[in-house]
Each structure stands twice: as structure tokens, then as C-alpha cells.
Amino acid sequence: MSVSLTNAVIGPFVVREPISAGGIAEVYRAQHRDDGRSYAVKVMRPERQAEKQHYKAFRDEFAQLQRLDHPDIPKARRLDEIKGRACMVIDYVPGRTLFALRAEKVAFDPLDVFRKLVAIVAYLHDQGLVHNDLKLENVILRPDQGVSLVDFGNARDQPRTGLLGRLLRKREPVFGTPTYLAPELIANEAPPTARSDCYSLGVCCFILLTGEPPFVFDRKSARMRATVHQQAPSLRARAPNVTMSFAKVIDNCLAKDPAQRPANAGIFGEALRVLAKASGGGRPTDSGAVGPIDL
């Protein structure tokens, strides 16, 4: 049983209530003693800290966040230890995840949110980084209607291309949520790339507009098999109100062959901008609720 971290101190930061918990780490809200501002503290689970791979990934995540400079990505402030557990202090992002909002049928503009998410990922790809865990649970809609991308625990540098890069590539296990993982990652046929991130973005869009992922099975193993062996259904099969041109862009992201997907999120975002310009911008459904949109 984990020791409570409430009211524990990390330098000028005082740990408050828990925010979320995952398989590798727990996240708490913390307050700065001088100005009262809120921050997030990510703390490794004790049993995971003993695993060298996860401990290294935790420290790598801090280094990656430090090098990034984007208003919609939380900044890393401090790498430390609390009660014998590795921790990092990062900017606190107010708001709620798209997963929670979608599950509760809270009204928001899915197209606007999705475009903002693609723009953030385009920045990452431009920096040579693959997020490798893109899902609605990691996207926060803030009170100002901005979007923030969090949880860089699986992020890594884009792999080298060319023959030498393939020869020197070290095969590493891939972690992630099966619903969003690209087929080549599940099959362990290739490392995470910008194209596998684009697949995950396609799944995010699919769920935002239809309420369901491309493959709907109760068992995780069945979803994984379908992802590897079946072609994802067209977006229009589940959201007939979207235009064929928009559906094609999303369908391309969900292609089983990575070469058929956008090379990166920058190219993906440009395709969305071209479509929006041609149609005068998308609109939500008349009810304003999350659902199929006309583009």
C-alpha cells in the first residue's frame, strides 16, 4: 500500500490532492508556498521505479518536456524525489480530458478541438519527437477553450531513416492503449513514428465524431487482432454527415500501411486547413452536442 503523499514537501511545493493515476505513475496537484499557484507533481509508483526501463523513461520524459516550448504543452519545472520515489513538478493544466467530456456528452466543438490537437502534435513532429500515446485521456480542454496535450511518458525521438538507421535500431517494447495503437506497433513490426502518431490522431477524430473507436470489441485482445488484421471502417460508415473529402483524410490516417498515412501531423494539419478553407469552415451539429459534423 502506497504511503500518502498529501502535504509532503518538494522544495517550495506542497503536495495536495491526487489528480489521476496510471500504471507507471500517480499525479497530484501541488501548491507553491510563496504565491499559492497550482502545479502538477508526477510521482513514480514504487514497484515501477525498480524497473530500469521505466525509471529511465521517467527521467527522459522530464528532459523532453524541458526542451519543448509550446503554450499547449506543460513545462517541466523540477526533477526530484519524494519519500524515496522519483517525481517531477510540471505546470498544472486546468480543465477536463476530452475522454471525460465525451463520455458525459458535454457539448464542445469537436472540429476546433481536433484541429488544435493536430497543431500541437505537428509541433512535436517538427521537433523530432513522437508522442506515442495520443488518446482522448491525454488531451485537456481548458476553461479558455484552449487544448493541452499531457503525459509524455511514452514519447521518444523519431527513429532514424535509411538502411543504417534500420540496422542500428534497437527493438524496444511498445507501451500504449490498444484502442489507439497503430497496427505495426501492436504487431511489433516497426518502432513508433510520426505516421503511427497520425494513426492515433485518426482514432481520436473517429471517437470524437462517432462516440466509438473504429474497432468495437469488449475484449482487448479482439481489438488488437482487428487492428492488425482488418481494415478500419470508413468514417462515413459511422458518421454519414461528414463529406467524402474529410472522411478520406481521416481514413488515410487509419490506413493499415503506414506509407499511406500522412508523413507527419504537419502534413495532416495542412490537409485539414485546405478542407476548411474550401468549405468555409466546419460546423457542429445543430444541437451543438459532440457528434457528426458537416465539413
Kindly report the CATH number that applies to the domain delimited by 96-279.
Answer: 1.10.510.10
At 226 the pLDDT is 86
Residue 291 — very low, low, confident or very high, per pLDDT cuts 50/70/90?
very low
Residues 6+ apart with CB under 8 A from 223: 178, 179, 213, 215, 216, 217
* pTM attached to this predicted model: 0.89
Three-state secondary structure readout of the chain = CCCCCCCCEECCEEEEEEEEECCCEEEEEEEECCCCCEEEEEEECHHHHCCHHHHHHHHHHHHHHHHCCCCCCCCEEEEEEECCEEEEEEECCCCEEHHHHHHCCCCCCHHHHHHHHHHHHHHHHHCCEECCCCCHHHEEECCCCCEEECCCCCCEECCCCHHHHHHHCCCCCCCCCCCCCCHHHHCCCCCCCHHHHHHHHHHHHHHHHHCCCCCCCCCHHHHHHHHHHCCCCCHHHHCCCCCHHHHHHHHHHCCCCHHHCCCCHHHHHHHHHHHHHHHCCCECCCCCCCCCCEC
At 286 the pLDDT is 33
Residue 130 · residue 269 · CB < 8 Å: no
Lowest mean pLDDT among 37-41, 145-149, 230-234: 230-234
Q: What does the block give as the cell for 249?
A: 483524410
Residue 166 — very low, low, confident or very high, per pLDDT cuts 50/70/90?
low
Residue 222 — very low, low, confident or very high, per pLDDT cuts 50/70/90?
confident
Q: Which residue has the higher pLDDT, 217 or 265?
A: 265
Q: Which residue has the higher pLDDT, 78 or 3?
A: 78
User: What's the whole-number mean pLDDT along residues 43-49?
Assistant: 91
* Tens-digit pLDDT profile for residues 169-200: 556 666 678 999 999 999 999 999 999 999 99
At 292 the pLDDT is 41
Domains of the chain by residue range = 9-91, 96-279
> How far apart are the C-alpha atoms of 260 and 17, rounded to whole Å?
45
Residues 6+ apart with CB under 8 A from 49: 55, 58, 85, 86
At 49 the pLDDT is 86
> CATH number for the 9-91 domain, one of 3.30.200.20, 3.40.50.300, 3.30.420.40, 3.40.1280.10?
3.30.200.20
